[in-house]
Amino acid sequence: MKRSIKILILLMVLSGTVFSAPLEIRDVFRGEDSAVLRAYLNVYNEYTAGDKNVRVLDIFMDTNGLSAAQKAQIYIKEFGSDPESNWLLLLLADYYVSSGNNVLAGGILDKAYRRDASIAQDRYYRLIKGRIDGDIPDLMSENNGLPPLSKVNIDLSAANRVLQANDVLLDKSVELPGLPEKESVTVQESVKKLYHLQIGAFFRKANAEERRDYFNREGFPAYMRVRATENGSVYVVWVGDYENRDSALQAKEHLLSRYSTDSFIVKE
């Protein structure tokens, strides 16, 4: 199935289909963008795992064929009327072709076709059917005007609002769609302090919370932020709101002398 997932990825790249947020599908599995999307997915699964769009994204990104097929089957049962469910039938068919069960795969393709005959022009559909029939089409040489992936639309704007509400940071400065425009920021937000001291980064959330709470008890404004990385969520702890770098440097020296806590300045 790993090979078929790679084919799926290739088809996505060729199609030019767009995730409505935060990345275009043709950029998803390419170079650094793949790491960015996996970083998003890690925190999406932590904060918004129940979101339908996040679930579809998770299925696409799952490189374990059996796991992806099981998730797809559950999604189809829950949201059978969605266009995305019909397209996920193709993923199931791909899994069964890769498992050597062409009869079941063909039945799944027929089901997808009965639900929406236009799916027969989908490149992924045609590739799977070609594998079943033993006649794989040369999609690379065909007209670029052929329909791309059929009606797959992943809108992550609602999930992004949840990330913002939980102060999730990203390692790359990617704009999160579905959020208020900068011009609509309130006056109170516009005078928010920009400089902080980062005093720790933890893979365990409880450790970050403990450090944050300690400095809160000591009278410092301390915050925990979630930083999305390719390898999982990292919980960082910031201390202080400082108007300028000089005041942050003074606070840095105080933390080191009073609490033996080293830190570095971050600008929000």
The CATH number of residue 235's host domain is 3.30.70.1070
Beta strands (DSSP E) in the chain are: 168-170, 195-202, 222-229, 232-242, 264-267
9 and 130 housed in the same domain: yes
Question: What mean pLDDT is reported for the chain?
Answer: 75
> Is 0.75 topped by the overall pTM?
no
- 253 within a domain of the structure (yes/no): yes
Structure confidence by residue, pLDDT tens digits, 38-60: 767 878 888 888 999 889 888 88
State how many domains the chain has.
2
Range of the domain at 64: 2-141
7 with 66, same domain: the answer is: yes
At 100-143, the pLDDT tens digits run 999 999 999 999 999 989 888 887 888 889 989 888 766 555 55
What pLDDT is stored for residue 31 in this prediction?
41
Query: Do residues 8 and 110 share a domain?
Result: yes
What is the token pair recorded at 245? 């770098």
User: Are 46 and 124 in the same domain?
Assistant: yes
Among 111, 141, 171, give the residue marking a domain's end: 141
In a domain, residue 243? The reply is yes
Residue 8 belongs to domain with CATH number: 1.25.40
Show which of 141, 168, 199 is a domain's final residue. Answer: 141
* Calpha distance 188→124 (Å, rounded): 50
User: Is 211 in the same domain as 81?
Assistant: no
pLDDT at 188 over 70: no
